[in-house]
Amino acid sequence: MKVDVSLAPEVRAAIDAGRPVVALESTIIAHGMPYPDNLSMAREVEAVVRAHAAIPATIAILGGRLKIGLGYEEIDDLARNGRSIRKVSVRDLPYVVSQGLDGATTVASTMRIAAMAGIRTFATGGIGGVHRGAERSFDISADMTEFAESSVAVVTAGAKAILDLGLTLETLETLGVPVVGFGTEEFPAFYSRSSGHAVPMRCDSAGEVARLMRAKWDMGLRGGIVVANPIPLSAEIPAVEIEPVVEAAVARAYSAGIHGKELTPFLLSEIATVTAGRSLAANIALVKHNAAVAADIAVAYAGASR
């Protein structure tokens, strides 16, 4: 069968003309936040990308079609239907496409689809990684192996705070993935600007990141780049405050037997409840900040490509 890839007209026109495009995932809409916060976040993030002179391309699977660039009503449906929409990683793509199903794309599957379309920059909230207790559960996100496969720069507020950040960084190193601190020497921890883990390299401008992207891929070094962009200071929840909340949520998840795809949405919901919505506000702030940086990088990369 021929896979049906559908690009929104403005996304196709931008790609054909070599203009900047920023990919955006849809799992954060369907599974990452409650309605209507998820809908307003999705609209605001696309607006941020446009304000920074790039074209947003929110990615999902609708009726088995790979959709790159969603319309207003399609984003609204994702936000309203939320958890009823299948969460789709790379493993799930052929099944969802062949069955003609709907799906919200994770970081890994968004990277893969963006790379297929020739989109080199992607903004998300936090990447997946190695879960706490992975030495027992072997629970490691497919985001890790996708970074070794798809040549996309991903702007992220580090890895999700619910993960083992040290092991996540070790895994990325093993896979040969550059982890770049954007204006920082320290790997951010999603809600917090500090994690105690150093980044191996630093860039202080979008132009520096664009040159790194070009150098990596021009050398034939396939795979992605982690651009670790700390949450804005005004929205930060310090690690000393959020860490006990995260640990308690992880303990509740394991005692309830929650794992796999259901683990992250459960933990984010638990943390939002305990923090009285403060973590949700932080999540929205960091996603918008990442979108602005990703758009700036996409503009710089498009200029460097000419």
C-beta neighbour count of 34 within 10 angstroms: 15
Active-site residue, from 25, 146, 186, 236: 25
Contact of 90 with 57, CB cutoff 8 Å: no
36: preceding bond cis by omega (within 30 degrees) = yes
The yes-or-no answer on residue 160 being catalytic is: yes
44: exposed, middle or buried (Cβ count in 10 Å: 0-12, 13-18, 19+): middle
Which structure tokens are listed for 176?
């040969």
The yes-or-no answer on residue 241 being catalytic is: no
Active-site residue, from 46, 67, 146, 160: 160
Q: What DSSP string runs through 172-186?
A: HHHTT--EEEES-SB
- Residues with a catalytic annotation lie at 25, 160
